Chain A
Amino acid sequence: MNDTIIFPQAFLGKKSASSGFSSLIGILLVIGIVIGLVIVGIFAMGEIVDTSYGNVDVTVHLSGNDVVVSIIGGEDAPRVTGLHVYIDGAPETTSAANYQYSITSRQQIMFNGIALGVVGSRFVVVEAIFDDGTTTVIDYSRLQFN
Chain B
Amino acid sequence: MDTRLLLGLVLIIAVICVVAVAVSVVHVHSSPPPSSQNVTVSDDFVAMSEDLYHSVNVSLTAFGFEVQSAAKNLSSLTPQDNSAKNMLHELYKIFPESTGVAWVDANGTTVTYPMFNQPMLLASPEFKSITEESFAENDILLMGPVYSNTYGMVLCLIVPVYSRDGTYNGYLCVTQTPNVLINETPGTPFYKNTTYELWVGNNNGDVLYHPDSSYIGTNYYINPRYQQQVELHYGLGRVFAEPEGTAVYQFYPLGGSDRVNKTVIWKTLSFGGQDLRLVLADYPRDPVDITFPPNPNVDKMISDVQQMAAYAKRNGQIATLSAMSNPNGLFTDENYEIFAYTMDGTVLSMPSREYLVGENRINHKGVWGLTIIQNMINRCLQGGGYVHYYDAVPYLDYQAVFGVAYVLPIDENWCVGAQMPILNHTVTYDIRDRYTLVRTVQAVQDYIATYGKEAALAMIMDPSDELTSGEDHIFAVDYNGILLADETNPQMVGKDIFYLTDPHGTSVIREIVMVAKQGGGYVLTETADSTTGAYTMILVYVQPVDDEWCVVSSTPLDSFVVIEGEGHHE
Contacts and interface: CB of A to CB of B under 8 A. Distances in A.
18 contacts: A49-B412, A50-B412, A57-B309, A59-B306, A59-B309, A59-B384, A62-B507, A64-B501, A66-B499, A70-B306, A72-B307, A72-B310, A73-B310, A116-B499, A143-B383, A144-B378, A145-B382, A145-B510
Given A146-B498, A146-B514, A59 B408 contact: yes
Given A52-B313, A74-B310, A64 B383 contact: no
Contacts of B374: none
Contacts of B155: none
B513 interface: yes
A144 B411 CA distance: 13
Interface in B371-410: 378, 381-385, 408-410
Given A74-B310, A144-B378, 9 more contacts: A49-B412, A64-B500, A65-B499, A72-B306, A73-B310, A116-B496, A141-B383, A145-B510, A146-B510
Interface in A39-86: 46, 49-50, 52, 57, 59-66, 68, 70, 72-74
**7 interchain residue pairs of minimum CB distance:** A61-B383, A144-B381, A57-B310, A50-B411, A63-B505, A72-B306, A64-B499
Interface string B502-534: 000111001001100100000000000000000
A126 to B, nearest CB: 11
B382 A62 contact: yes
A13 interface: no
Contacts of A63: 385, 501, 505-507
A119 interface: yes
Interface in A129-146: 141-146
Nearest to B501: A64
A144 B505 contact: no
Contacts of A74: 310
B303 interface: yes
Interface residues of B, number: 33
Contacts of B411: 46, 49-50, 141
A116 B314 CA distance: 32
Contact of B306 (A68, A106, A146): A106
Contacts of B408: 59
A117 interface: yes
B383 A146 contact: no
A70 B302 CA distance: 12
A62 to B, nearest CB: 4
Interface in B275-316: 303, 306-307, 309-310, 313-314
Contacts of A124: 383
A119 B306 contact: no
A61 B383 CA distance: 4
B498 to A, nearest CB: 6
Interface residues of A, number: 31
Interface string A5-19: 000000000000000
Interface in B419-468: none
Given A62-B510, A146-B479, A57 B505 contact: no
B314 A57 contact: yes
Nearest to B378: A144
Given A50-B411, A74-B310, A144 B499 contact: no
Interface string A97-116: 00000000010000001011
Nearest to A65: B499
Contacts of B510: 62, 64, 145-146
Contact of B412 (A62, A117, A142): A142
Contacts of B505: 61, 63-64, 68
A143 B510 CA distance: 12
Contacts of A52: 313-314
B297 to A, nearest CB: 14
Contacts of A145: 382, 510
B131 interface: no
Contacts of B480: 119, 146
A52 B311 CA distance: 12
B498 A64 contact: yes
Nearest to B306: A72
Interface in B463-482: 479-481
Q: Quick one: which of B313, B408, B410, B517 has the most chain A CB within 10 A?
A: B313
A118 B496 CA distance: 11
B506 to A, nearest CB: 7
Nearest to B302: A106
Interface string B474-499: 00000111000000000000001011
User: Which has the most chain B C-beta neighbours within 10 Å: A50, A61, A66?
Assistant: A61
A117 B498 CA distance: 8
B397 to A, nearest CB: 37
A104 to B, nearest CB: 10
B499 A57 contact: no
Given A61-B383, A62-B510, A117 B496 contact: yes
A57 B500 CA distance: 28
Nearest to A63: B505
B507 A64 contact: yes
A32 B501 CA distance: 52
Contacts of A106: 303, 306
Contacts of A144: 378, 381-382, 514
B310 A146 contact: no
A64 B383 CA distance: 12
A25 B27 CA distance: 58
